[in-house]
Amino acid sequence: MQNTPPFHLAIPVNNIEICRAFYRDVLKCKEGRSSDHWVDFNFFGHQLVIHLKTEKISTLPTNPVDGKEVPIPHFGVVLPWKQFEEFSKHLKDSDIEFIIEPYIRFKNEVGEQYTMFFKDPSGNALEFKAFKHTNQIFAK
**What pLDDT digit, counting tens, does each position of 44-53 carry?**
999 999 999 8
Whether 49 is in a domain gets the answer: yes
pTM value surpassing 0.85: yes
Whether 124 is in a domain gets the answer: yes
Q: What is the CATH number of the domain that holds 43?
A: 3.10.180.10
Which residues share a beta bridge with 100? 117
Q: Dump pLDDT digits (tens) for 18-69.
A: 999 999 999 999 999 999 999 999 999 999 999 998 776 666 688 888 888 8
Please report the pLDDT score of residue 71 as a whole number: 85
Please state the domain count of the chain. Answer: 1
Whether 125 is in a domain gets the answer: yes
pLDDT above 70: residue 107: yes
Whether 2 is in a domain gets the answer: no
Chain-wide mean pLDDT for the chain?
91
Could you list the residue range(s) of the whole structural domain that residue 96 is in?
Answer: 8-54+61-136
Please report the pLDDT score of residue 51 as a whole number: 95
Whether 3 is in a domain gets the answer: no
Mean pLDDT on 68-86: 92
